Amino acid sequence: MFTCDQSGKIRGNAVDKKVIVIGGGPAGYAAAIKAAQLGAGVILAEKHKIGGTCLNYGCVPAKTLLRTAEFFKNAVSNAVPGVIADNVSLDWSAAQKHKEQVINQLSNGVAALLKRSGVTVCNEKALLPAPSQVRIGNETLHADAVILASGSVNSPLSLPGNSVKSERVIDSSAALAMERIPESVIIIGGGVIGVEFAVMLMRLGVKTAVIEQAPQLLPSADEEVAAYLKMTLESEGAAVYTGAKVIQAVQNKSSVTVTVKSDKGTVAIEAGAMLTAVGRSPNTAGLGLEETGIQLVRGAFVTDDYFQTNVHGVYAVGDCNGKAMLAHAAIAQGEAAAEHIMGVAAHINNKLVPACIFSSPEIAYVGRTEQQLRADGIKYNVGRFDLAGNARSIIESTGGFVKVLADSKFGEVLGVHIAGPHASEMIAEAAVCMNMEGTVEDIVNTIHAHPTVSEATREAAMSVFGRPIHG
């Protein structure tokens, strides 16, 4: 195995294969651990923090603050009948401290896993001057395989109007670290990041407007799910503009004004802050790849089904290949690349990657949408169950629905879409069923515990046949 001595030089014992991973986010650390488990000598180079964007600046801190905001809103509004909370206040600095504690606990946990697996971690910038050579610090190392896991960065936003660069214009990373909560905010982008920040800030009492250029929020989601989300956000006080174009953005002395043209007409929106959430782009610059011949398309590494680039022995996993910018997809890709390198059959189904949005309500889906099935001319049946008929949802005073899309001939499940409480936990059942090419009958014939929201999945499956019990 490899070790780093105090001088930063890397020493190694003889192993069957030497693998170097560049990047310590979910894709990188999963690839490193899997390769080590399969017998490789592994070095992981990460110039910043282990855990990457997801753990340190994205998913984990965002969900931690979302939980704080949810609890605060429920307490302030006395959301649970019979429980009266007086003089509720928010200590934002304590919430930020708790967020950092969660990040550190998980980051330390990942570091411990890497160490236990025998992976050598080097906190240095890594370059790839040649396909089998990696420069880490002052050392040039040779490897049998290199895995690029360089992640992604916030996509830049170009707006018409004057310069709007100040502390009042922030991206998602800055929003997670803000010292003070603004009284009002304009969010540019109604995708996953924009929607989750909208929910978090609204729960904290921030007047919120969301501007999305596409015809619907969450452009990749099923249209019915997106419409339901828009309705609930608006019912809670958000101003939501879809099919919207920003005509002008002006930075004022104490605010930002954005002029928007949408199906609602042209309107000028003023707020104390503007959050740009127009997505993320593959981070493929600064890796010294100029002489390698590795192919990129629209800034992303091009890979095959096993995540190998056009250069033999060089793989690209996670956000940097642009296939599915989700942490769980990145982990699966990292594992599959490591398995392929080590000559083990890779286990991954790239067509079945669940998506989870921690909005209000939660949204989760896997497989095809109705608009995709219609576009491909596939005949399908729809089973739908409203959570107004689900005991657990009534107990929790929440709404939503579960929708199952099934092949009209054999009943194979083609897509499942959930808007409601615990959607992010429930979607795994659908993914397992679809991964096994299961049918709606497989769901119907599986007893679901009561009272749980997951019963709604079975009811939706029964609705495909028009025979729900509680619908």
Cα dihedral 295→301→307→311 (10° resolution): 30
pLDDT of residue 467: 83
pLDDT of residue 307: 96
pLDDT of residue 160: 65
Distance CA 94, CA 269 (A): 32
385 neighbors 460 (Cβ within 8 angstroms): yes
216 neighbors 223 (Cβ within 8 angstroms): yes
- What are the average pLDDT values for consecutive 10-residue runs of the chain, which has 471 residues? 47 70 96 96 93 92 95 87 88 96 96 95 92 89 95 82 68 91 95 96 96 95 96 95 91 88 90 92 90 91 95 96 94 97 89 94 96 96 96 92 96 97 96 97 96 97 88 74
pLDDT of residue 8: 42
3-state secondary structure 102-159: HHHHHHHHHHHHHHHCCCEEECCCEEEEECCEEEECCEEEECCEEEECCCEEECCCCC
pLDDT of residue 5: 45
Q: Annotated active-site positions, please?
A: 450
pTM as predicted: 0.92
DSSP letter for 384, please: E
pLDDT of residue 120: 95
**Domain annotation for the chain: domains and CATH numbers:** 2-55+95-154+281-341 (3.50.50.60), 169-278 (3.50.50.60), 361-463 (3.30.390.30)
H-type alpha helices, 319-454: 327-341, 370-375, 391-395, 423-435, 440-444
pLDDT of residue 163: 53
